[in-house]
Amino acid sequence: MKEMADMLRQGAKMLSTTCPECGAPLFQLKTGEIFCPREKREVKLMNEGETLEGVKQEASLEKTLQNKLTLLQQRLDAATEPAEIRELTETITILLDTLAKLKPRKP
Ligand SMILES: [Zn+2]
């Protein structure tokens, strides 16, 4: 209950939807993210016609892309050859584009 009161105080909006994992009422943060106050994690709500499987798959894809971005960033940090820098930058751009395609999700 305390978490929920805190979230309301921070301007979050309580939704009529409950968390698919634990059943707690969900909150929409000012940033637009849907948040479960009990598990303290972001919850991705399914859009019309989407399956739980599909959402989980996208979430794991997003995680994979994030991991690759971190890896490429480290390599870019160390890179000195212009050809390598260009190749890494192009790959990072593609990953960011793909992430951007995954991200847009509003209830
Ligand atoms: Zn939950």
Give the mean model confidence (pLDDT) for residues 27-33: 86
As a whole-number percent, the residues of the chain with pLDDT over 90 amount to 24
How far is the centre of ligand 1, averaged over its atoms, from the C-alpha of 35 (Å)?
Answer: 8
Q: What percent of the chain has pLDDT over 70?
A: 80
Residues 79-97: what's their mean pLDDT? 92
Q: Give the model's pLDDT for residue 58.
A: 67
Q: How far is the CA of 89 from the centre of ligand 1 (A)?
A: 38
Q: How far away, in angstroms, is 17 Cα from ligand 1 center?
A: 11
Mean pLDDT of the chain: 81
Q: How far is CA 34 from CA 27, 72, 75, 81, 94, in A?
A: 6, 30, 34, 43, 27
Cα separation, 4 vs 27, whole angstroms = 8
Q: E-assigned strands of the chain?
A: 13-18, 25-28, 34-36, 41-42
Residue 27 in contact with residue 15, Cβ under 8 Å?
Answer: yes
CA of 86 to the centre of ligand 1 (A): 43
Task: Express each pLDDT in 31-65 by its tens digit.
Answer: 888 888 888 888 876 655 555 556 666 677 888 88
- Higher pLDDT among residues 105 and 96, named by residue: 96
